[in-house]
Amino acid sequence: LAAPVLSVSSPTCDSIAVSWKAVYLASGFSVSLMRSDGLGRMLKENTTNTSLTFTNLDPGALYTIKAYAWNANRIPGDDFTYNQRTRPNTPADVQVAFSSGALRAIVSWMPTEGALTYSVTASSGLLKLTCNTSSASCAVPSLQCGSEYYISVTAYNDAGSSKPTHAVSLETIPCAPVNVSIEEDEAGHLSVSWSSVSLGNYYVVFVKSDDGLEVHCNTSHPQCHFQSDCGFTYFISVFAYNKAGQSPLGDVFNYTTAPCCPSDLRAAFVSSDTVQVTWAPVRGAEAYETRAVGWDGTVRCNDTATACTLSALQCNSRYRITVYSFSEARGSNTSCASKYVATAPCSPEIKNISKEAHSVISVHWQSNNKEATYVVTARGEAGLWRCTSSGNSCILINLPCGSAFSVSAIARSPAGQSLPSYSVPLETAPCCPDDLILTQVTQSVTNISWTVGMGAQTYITTLESPKGQAKCHTLQNYCLLGCITCSTNYTVSLKAISETGLASSCTYRGYSSSACCPSGVKLYRLNNNGIRVYWQASDRTMNYSTDLHGSKGNFTCTPSSGRSHCDITELPCGDIYTVVVSPVADKGSKVTFCPKKIYS
């Protein structure tokens, strides 16, 4: 019989299946199997079928298979020989080591007899990674963080593959935490939070300040709290950990805290509406903003220097001054303390100046600060005069007459001194002349002269009696008054008037005009060297004196009171005499302007 043509395969690691096509006139078949290396015993099977399977074979071993057919007389035909290897056994003692730095798994196992190659499969969900090798270990690269892989090993030879090993579970390192948030809950307290990551058992947060100091926090919660200082930049890293190791380095975050508040804040007024603010430099500040907040608004000043001048402040106001520090990274520190200052009072406004009495001036102003004391100053060439009040008026006394002043007021309070008010001109009335002299020039004309009154430009002098009035208005310091009545008592007054019209009324002691000259003077010759003089007395109680003046001598005759004639004898002959009859005052003075008579 012809030899059967075998078709051989190894369906499992311990079996070989043999099949063939029917042979013409064959009644049965004989199939034998033996390890090609001669080890073990030979297996032989007789069958009338066209297939059979040998089991309980050695995995991965090479077997020699021989088959032949026989006829009805059991005469064997030609045989057919075929070599077939069984599939390899499942690898044993699978070990998995994880390399966290390279994110790869190192898988090893015990070699399996008859295996030519091995395939390692790492499965995580729909993701599968494989590694093929002919050795007993393999590295599976490119694993993903935060994943759990199931790793199995399959052996291969020319007969096929073994069953995969039982999957070994491998948890990779967790991924770097994401959604890291850094907040400053309050000054000095940093809160770092993040999203929980898969396979992360605990977390470590490292915080390093820009001065080199580093602190860390271990926690199983997705949040950590740290103490912080103003003006520092902190570099923050968050790592997740599990038994596989540390997560990869994620983003390194930097957080700059708000700059420190300026210290040693000082405010000093350089003028009534300008304050200079100074402070000590602070860490983290790149610029400063100074704000003065008052009822009328806010005054700002921005500078990189540690000083600022706030001007145009409202007088008589209270301001809250705050210096804010700025940094480009964090902005402003809004928790800085304030300092309160008060500006000086506003300048008073003089409303009225009035004359209360001689050398007494009352100054009125509008008061705008209840705590202020007001000082009024009258300044002129004559000197300075001041008065002080906490109200809205005060009185300047003993101002000299005939002087010009500039009157201003200032307000003083614990906050400072105001600017002076606008000056108001003040002129005191002219001074009355100290001396006034009246000299009767003729019986009806009197000359009045006086010393110059300070501040006076013109003068009005007046002599007044029941019989009439004589008046003179002049720029000079003297005046001739006519229409004077003899033997009359006058009141004397003078008004000194300034250039602006201010006047001082000056009163002096009374003035009596000279006695009236006698009238009707007549001359009678008594003898060759004598003369009698007659007159009509204007006042019978008045004494009169008769004076004769000639080239050969002067002669006087004074009759007793009440008489109206006088005899003068022993006159030298041949002379021309001037004869004057004059009233004689009580003190013996004579009127010098009575009319003269000529006697020869």
> In CATH, what number does 178-257 get?
2.60.40.10
CATH architecture of 92-171: Sandwich (2.60)
pLDDT at 461: 95
Residues 444 and 429: their CA atoms lie apart, in Å, by 33
Residues 512 and 560: their CA atoms lie apart, in Å, by 24
What is the CB neighbour count within 10 angstroms for residue 174?
26
What are the distances in angstroms from CA 31 to CA 9, 10, 12, 14, 48? 14, 16, 19, 18, 11
The identity of residue 44, as a single letter, is: K
User: Which value, to the nearest 10 degrees, does the dihedral of the CA atoms of residues 111, 114, 119, 123 take?
Assistant: -80
Q: Residue 472 — left, alpha, or beta (φ > 0 → left; ψ -120 to 50 → alpha)?
A: beta
> In CATH, what number does 349-428 get?
2.60.40.10
pLDDT at 119: 96
Are the CB atoms for 255 and 264 separated by under 8 Å? no
The answer to whether domain 266-342 and domain 436-512 are alike in fold is yes
Regions of the chain where pLDDT drops below 50: none
Percentage helix, strand, coil for the chain under 3-state DSSP, each rounded to 5: 0, 55, 45
pLDDT at 497: 95
Structure tokens at 399: 């101002």
What are the distances in angstroms from CA 142 to CA 6, 114, 119, 138? 46, 30, 16, 13
Q: Distance between alpha carbon 578 and the CA centroid of its chain, in Å?
A: 103
pLDDT at 530: 87
pLDDT at 234: 93
Residues 27 and 36: their CA atoms lie apart, in Å, by 29
Task: Give CATH superfamily name and number for 6-85.
Answer: Immunoglobulins (2.60.40.10)
Domain-by-domain residue ranges, the chain? 6-85, 92-171, 178-257, 266-342, 349-428, 436-512, 519-599
> Where do the H-state alpha helices sit in 93-216?
none
User: Which value, in Å, is the radius of gyration of the alpha carbons in the chain?
Assistant: 71
Structure tokens at 123: 């499965």
What are the distances in angstroms from CA 55 to CA 15, 63, 83? 4, 12, 16
Residues 222 and 197: their CA atoms lie apart, in Å, by 9
In what helix (H) or strand (E) does residue 440 lie, and over which residues does it extend? strand 436-440
CATH class of 266-342: mainly beta
Residues 177 and 6: their CA atoms lie apart, in Å, by 63
Residues 324 and 333: their CA atoms lie apart, in Å, by 6
Which residue, 77, 7, 21, is CA-closest to 50? 21
CATH architecture of 436-512: Sandwich (2.60)
Spell 58-87 as b/e; 16+ CB within 10 A means b.
bbbbbbbbbbbbbeeeeeebeebebebbbb
Strands 214-219 and 92-99, how do they pair? unpaired
pTM: 0.60
CA angle 100, 104, 109 (to 5 degrees): 115
Residues 145 and 124: their CA atoms lie apart, in Å, by 11
Are the CB atoms for 471 and 492 separated by under 8 Å? no
Instruction: List, in sequence order, every residue forming a beta bridge with 500; answer none if it has no partner.
Output: none
Q: Is 113 helix (H, G, I), strand (E, B) or coil?
A: coil
Which residue, 162, 166, 132, 174, is CA-closest to 150? 166
Residues 530 and 483: their CA atoms lie apart, in Å, by 38
Residues 6+ apart with CB under 8 A from 288: 262, 279, 302, 303, 304, 305, 306, 308, 323, 324, 325, 326
> In CATH, what number does 519-599 get?
2.60.40.10
Spell 418-439 as b/e; 16+ CB within 10 A means b.
bbebeebebbbbbbbbeebebe
Are the CB atoms for 449 and 440 separated by under 8 Å? no
What are the distances in angstroms from CA 489 to CA 245, 465, 474, 510, 541? 135, 6, 23, 7, 17
Structure tokens at 564: 């109206």
For the chain, the maximum distance between any two Cα atoms, rounded to a whole number of angstroms, is 245
